[in-house]
Amino acid sequence: MDTRDTSRSSTTGGARAPLPFERAFVVQLSVEVVAGTVRGRVEHLSSGTAAVFDSVGALITWMGDPIARDSTRPTR
């Protein structure tokens, strides 16, 4: 079993910038994914807000709102 930490390497082998916690989500997919339908639940980890979605478009749209809010915050 390979236990190396690859969290900071890209597919091309270069280093990546750290991923901010404010842009972290948990996505739980339902069994319909197998049938070609994407449904599930998403939670924004830093705010705790959550929603259900019934398409990839709805998921991406919902995730864009917290990311946009984070982008307008002053850097610490």
What pLDDT is attached to residue 75?
55
What pLDDT is attached to residue 76?
54
Q: How far apart are CA 60 and CA 31, in angstroms?
A: 19
Distance of CA 67 to the CA centre of its chain: 10
Q: How far apart are CA 11 and CA 17, in angstroms?
A: 14
User: What's the pTM value of the predicted model, to 2 decimals?
Assistant: 0.66
| pLDDT, tens digit only, all 76 positions of the chain | 544 444 544 555 668 888 889 899 999 999 876 677 899 999 999 999 999 999 999 999 999 988 887 766 665 5
* Domain definitions of the chain by residue range: 21-72
What pLDDT is attached to residue 71?
67
